[in-house]
Each structure stands twice: as structure tokens, then as C-alpha cells.
Amino acid sequence: MIRFDILSLFPEMFVSPFDASLIKKAREKKILEINVIDIRAFAEDKHKMADDYPYGGGHGMVMKIEPVSRAIASLDPQEGDPVILLTPQGESFNHKIAVELSAYSRLILLCGHYEGVDERIREHLVTREISIGDYVLTGGEIPAMILVDSIARLVPGVLGNAGSALGDSFSEGLLEYPQYTRPAEYRGWRVPEVLLSGHHREIELWRKRESLKRTLARRPELIEAAELSDEDRKILEAIKKNDIS
């Protein structure tokens, strides 16, 4: 089981995404626990202000340290519990990080907003900063949803087939091979014969070749970082000789 505590200024954004599909089923099975905490509830002024103008002037508003600090403290984080700020300034999220985080029993996610957060939140309250890409969103709620979805599917019992996550794109550093299902032919478009052959070794080789071919064509930089076997390298050389055809 893994527990996600999500700190947000807009907790209502999480109702629908976490009440559908596999996430909903995993919550019902008690494989996942997801708690969404309203940061504004920890603001002590009568207007429940969780943001203020930045010192020194500038555009926009900045999230205040006081309500964020109280909200985190209310969760009684234990030593070793990651407290993650979702921010464009963080490290880029990827499958490797998802696997790493899926090993924890508890994750605390802080959704940034407005022009950012008081720098003291970074310095003293969070242990890690993560970005989902080089672009800016209105807040960290959607990035938090992405982290939960990506990490949750790696937790045993969330997926119906335990092997499903193992064949995903990026699980071995490469893009996934093409997938097909019934019917075997539609409008003259046929499924590759090897997949209908029942020859498991041939199917395995085809999938490996197609995975390498697709990665080389679409994300060649992944090839450099992937851990390739001798067989993989031989297949890759053959693909290159045939100009990725």
C-alpha cells in the first residue's frame, strides 16, 4: 500500500480524476490511500489568505510559508517521507523517478501556485522538487495527478496484470513495441504475421526489434542511456544498416 497526501489550494480539482478507473478500484481495495488537504484551512486570518504580494515588488502573488508549514506539520511527516514540491523549476519527472518513488509507503505532494512559493518553503519544508516538463501550468494540481497515476500503476495489485507495467514504454529505457488486437485484418490492414504464429521466441525478437527501431526513430537519445544486451546491440546494428526501415 502507498499513501499520497496532497496539499492544494484547490482540492476540488482532484475529485473526478481519483474517483474513476484503476485509481478508484485501487482505493476501494485499500491498495492506495489518497488524502487531499486544503492549504487555506491552515491560514489563520479571517480571509484565509494563503498568498501575498512579493517583497521587493513584482507581478502576481506568492504562496505564504505559514499555512503551508502548518498544513505539512498537520500530517506529522516521519523521517524519510518525501515532501515533494510540484514546480517548473524541479527535476524532470520520468519513469525512473516513478519507480524510485513507488518504493515509498508515503508521499507528500505540495502543489505550487501563482508566481511560486516563498523560498523558505523550498529551503526548509520540502525535500525534493519535481517538474513534469518545460512549460508553466496554472498550478501543481495536474502535475500531482500525473505523479499519482504514474506511481500508482507500479504498486503491486493496482494493475490487473502484474506484468503490464513491465512492458510499458520507458520501463527498460526504450519505447514500447507496437501492439495489436482483434480483428487480424481490418480494411486490408493486417496484423504482422509473426504475432499470429504462436512462435514465442520469434514474437519476442520481433518485439525487441520494433522497440529498438521505434526508439531510434523517435527518441534516439534514449538509446544512449539504455542498458542494452549484446543481442540488443546486434539487432540495433542491423536496423541502422537497413536505415531504420
First to last CA, the chain: 44
Is 148 in contact with 18 (CB distance < 8 Å)? Answer: yes
Which among 38, 81, 168, 176 is annotated as catalytic?
A: 168
Which among 54, 77, 82, 88 is annotated as catalytic?
A: 88
d(Cα 92, Cα 199) in Å, to the nearest integer?
Answer: 40
Predicted confidence at residue 38, as pLDDT, reads 98
Residue 244 has pLDDT above 70, yes or no: no
For residue range 12-68, list pLDDT tens digits in order. 999 999 999 999 999 999 999 999 999 999 999 989 999 999 999 988 999 999 999
- Half-sphere exposure of 91 toward its Cβ, with a 13 Å CA cutoff? 9
**243 labelled catalytic:** no
Q: How confident is the model at residue 161 (pLDDT cuts 50, 70, 90)?
A: low
For residue range 76-122, list pLDDT tens digits in order. 999 999 999 999 999 999 999 999 999 999 999 999 988 899 999 99
**122 labelled catalytic:** no
Which among 115, 129, 149, 176 is annotated as catalytic?
A: 115
pTM: 0.87
Cβ-proximal residues to 206 (8 Å cutoff; 6+ apart), any chain: 177, 192, 194, 195
% residues pLDDT > 90 (the chain): 89
Residue 160 has pLDDT above 80, yes or no: no
Three cell numbers, residue 174: 526504450
Q: How confident is the model at residue 245 (pLDDT cuts 50, 70, 90)?
A: low
Is 110 in contact with 4 (CB distance < 8 Å)? Answer: no
**115 labelled catalytic:** yes
**88 labelled catalytic:** yes
Residue 244: which of 206, 222, 218 has the closest Cα? Answer: 218
Which among 153, 207, 209, 219 is annotated as catalytic?
A: 153
> For residues 149 and 167, which has the higher predicted lDDT (pLDDT)?
149
Predicted confidence at residue 87, as pLDDT, reads 94
